[in-house]
Amino acid sequence: MAYVEGFVVAVPAANKEVYRKHAAEAAPLFKEFGVTRHVEAWGDDVPDGKVTDFKGAVQAEPGEVIVFSWFEYPSRAVRDAANEKIMSDPRMKAMGDEMPFDGRRMIYGGFAGIVEDGTEGRMSYVDGSLLPVPAENKEAYGTWAARVSAAVRDHGALRVVDAWGDDLPDGKVTDYRRAVKTTNGENVVYSWIEWPSKEVRDAAWPKIMADTSLHPQGPLFDGRRMIHGGFEPILDV
């Protein structure tokens, strides 16, 4: 099961193409360092939340768009070795000096896969989520997420991944724990669903939400602090 490095970034809307080009130029280096898949997805349907949301997670400013992004690695060991190279390689430093966004508000961290259902296909839309889950509910959450994943796949999704927070650094401005306002004993789940199109996704969700058999049995997590949104991939390598 993949090890995931997940990112959430606020990017000025005017910098969309510059951001995509910057990521595309960096992708060969990430592959060299061990990344097996690199996805950048541009915010398309990112709702405001009552308690928290993606915009609040990265303190987005007017005119900025949320990017939901991830690297996949075969293991944490490969990821850790890659991060050492990323931090020391002069080519990465040069690219870091030209980032088309405020890196101080980027949140990132490592997540260990607990559900991975389906295979990579010709996706053209992504649902991304962050959830605060009590540590003692990890096994119960995984069981529930696998059941939901099967139903989502039945409704047309290509792939579903849920990954458990494993290496979540504290940030100076913001971070994953602050994004979902974790309390003592809670961890963060980074989750996404890959769809063949937005139309398939939009048709599926009303049916999924209406299926009461998929509702959690008991308080697995606080849904009021769950963050979610729809994103259009601008890079998938």
Give the rounded distance of the alpha carbon of 69 from its chain centre: 6
Q: Which residue is listed with tokens 């541009």?
A: 42
Domain extent for 198: 3-236
Q: What would the mean pLDDT of 79-101 be, rounded to a whole number?
A: 87
Tens-digit pLDDT profile for residues 105-123: 999 999 999 999 998 778 9
pLDDT tens per residue, range 31-77 = 999 999 999 999 999 999 999 999 999 999 999 999 999 999 999 99
Distance in angstroms (rounded) separating the CA atoms of residues 60 and 47? 13
Alpha carbons 214 and 2: distance in angstroms, whole number: 25
Q: How many CA atoms lie within 13 A of 43 on its CB side?
A: 21
pTM (predicted TM-score) = 0.95
Mean per-residue pLDDT over the chain, rounded: 95
Structure-token pair, residue 69: 């992004």
Number of domains in the chain: 1
* pLDDT above 80: residue 86: yes
Instruction: Sort strands 37-45 and 125-134 into parallel, antiparallel or unpaired.
Output: unpaired
| pLDDT tens, position by position, 142-158 | 999 999 999 999 999 99
Which pLDDT band holds residue 219 (cuts at 50, 70, 90)? Answer: confident
Over the stretch 126-184, which tens digit does the pLDDT of each residue have? 999 999 999 999 999 999 999 999 999 999 999 999 999 999 999 999 999 999 999 99
The pLDDT of residue 116: 96
The CATH number of the domain holding residue 78 is 3.30.70.100
Whether residue 190 contacts residue 114, with contact meaning beta carbons closer than 8 Å, is answered with: no
Note whether 31 and 146 are within 8 A (CB).
Answer: no
